[in-house]
Structure formats: C-alpha cells, structure tokens
Amino acid sequence: MSALDRIKIAFQYILPKHFISRVVGKLAAARLGWLTQLFIKLFIRNFSVNMSEAANSNPKSFQTFNAFFTRELKEGARPVHAAEGELVHPVDGTVSQAGDIKKGLLIQAKGHKYTVQDLLGGEHELVNYFNDGDFATIYLAPRDYHRIHMPCNATLKEMIYVPGNLFSVNPLTARNVPNLFARNERVIAIFESEKGPFAMVLVGATIVGSIETTWAGTVSPPRGQKVRRWQYPTEGKNTIQFQQGDEMGRFKLGSTVIMLFGDDQVDFNDSVKAGKVTRMGEVMGAWD
C-alpha cells in the first residue's frame, strides 16, 4: 500500500464521519439555486455521469442535489429480460466480491472476512440458513444509478436497522478496514421468494445522506443507537409484494448492496465475479 493510501485509510478512522454525513446530507437536500446547479454540473463532469439515460436529462431542472442523484431512468433504459427461474442484478455497480459463504464467513477483500451473524446485527433465525449459502457484494460508484430493484418476485418479511460507523465503502477501504460491512450502519431487508428467504443489505457509508425503502420511506437518518426490527405479514391483504425489477430502495449518495442466499438456492452466472460491471435488469443467475 502506498504512503498516500495509508494516509487515506488513517483519515477514515479519525474523521468525524457522522457529523460530515449530516452536514453533506443537509446540503444535498437544500435548494441552493445556482450553487446546487454548479455542483451538479461539476459532479457530472468529474464522474462522467451518463445523463442521456435519465428520464429528465436536463441537469438544470433538478432543484436539489438529492433529486439529481436519485434520478429516475428513461422507460426501457434497464429492461428486465429474465426467463422463468432467473434472477436479475438489483443495481448498477461493480461486483466487489461474490461466491460461497463458508461456515458463516463472507469475503470482504483479500485477507479480510466477516460473519453472517455480524452482518445481520447479531442473533437471527436465518443466520444458520445463510451460513453455508452464497453472497454477492456490489459497490455503487458515484456515477452509477442509485435506485435498488428486486432480483425476483418476492414478499417482504422483515426489515432490520443496524446502527454503526460510516466508513467509506470504496475498494481501497474494503481492502484495508477489517469487518467494514459489519461495522457500518445498514438496513437489511429479508424477503420470502418461491425458493425460500433471501436478504438484501443496504450498507451506509461516509456522506450517504440517507437510506430509503419504498415501503418505509427514509429509514436513516435519524441514526439510532440500537438495532431496530420490523416484521411484515407474508400472507393476507396487508402483505408487501414485489415483482422482479420493482424498485425497493435507494441511496442518497452511494454505497454497497450485499445479497445473501441459502445453501444450494442460487447458481450465479459469470457476471457475478469480482470486478464485473453490473447493470440492473441483466440476468445474474438462476434458482438452483
């Protein structure tokens, strides 16, 4: 690791990350007129954002940075072409790590592993179910589309908010901060599918203004001190059901999504390997 990278990692530990995230979140939600427009313009240029895909491609029309960052795509920009039994990528991003969960351990990066139990915020009935399953970690860069969609048809079963730190989740930090995804703030959504339960973990990070879901709205902030859990009915008229490709959440400023499946539940294709670019709606594998 270079001297500059060591300095970057050291700053991750000493910066007041929650304070910075609160300030940036308020600025991103504020209507600052020409200042907002200037920042959006610079952001598009610096991160090579493809505005031609946006439903509203005029940067000047966004009154807040958050509105720009969570922009909707044009109809048909991310078609879902999955055959029966196939799953699709939930987000635009890049696969950080993916593969087997071995005895409850997931790979964060070379030399770093963490546990399913820690990721889920402690004891949970599904820890043993996922302990020998499969996972996929997808990193959303600043230039990416930041809405999160469903990989398959499913019914919401539970949501868990886990308080934590707000380290950056970029590749450099993932390689050098132990237990990163299990120590950062996160929102866990557990769904019931035709092949059993699976989880989608939305991981917070430095300057992430908020994590939202389509059924609960803004889950964070406010940032709590305790793990919170919400149970949802899986039968009857009050169920919350999703079709493949439906939006389930969004980040206001970027982060990471981790998907957990049970043993022999899914068979990933070659698009689910470290370093592969993902596009929401493209096939990621099939039920096993």
Cα–Cα distance measured from residue 213 to residue 193, given in angstroms and rounded to the nearest whole number = 18
* β-sheet bridge partners, residue 286: 86, 267
Do 98 and 273 meet the contact criterion of CB atoms below 8 Å apart?
A: yes
In 159-254, which residue ranges form alpha helices assigned H by DSSP?
A: 171-176, 180-183
Task: Classify strands 247-252 and 210-213 as parallel, antiparallel or unpaired.
Answer: antiparallel
* Strand, helix or coil for residue 197: strand
Number of residues that this document lists for the chain? 288
How far is 216 from 156, CA to CA, in rounded Å?
Answer: 12
- The one-letter amino acid code at 16 reads P
* Distance between CA atoms of residues 271 and 50, nearest Å: 22
Burial of residue 177, with CB atoms counted within 10 A of its CB: 0-12 exposed, 13-18 middle, 19 or more buried: buried
Two tokens at 72? 């909707």
Phi, psi of 90 (to 5 degrees): -80, -20
Query: CA-to-CA distance for 47 and 50, rounded, in angstroms?
Result: 9
b/e sequence 221-251, b meaning 16+ C-beta within 10 Å? beeeeeeeeeebebeeeeebebebbeebbbb
Q: What one-letter code names the amino acid at 271?
A: S
Task: Give phi and psi for 108, each to the nearest 5.
Answer: -90, -50
Active site members = 92, 149, 255
Interatomic CA distance for residues 65 and 43, integer angstroms: 10
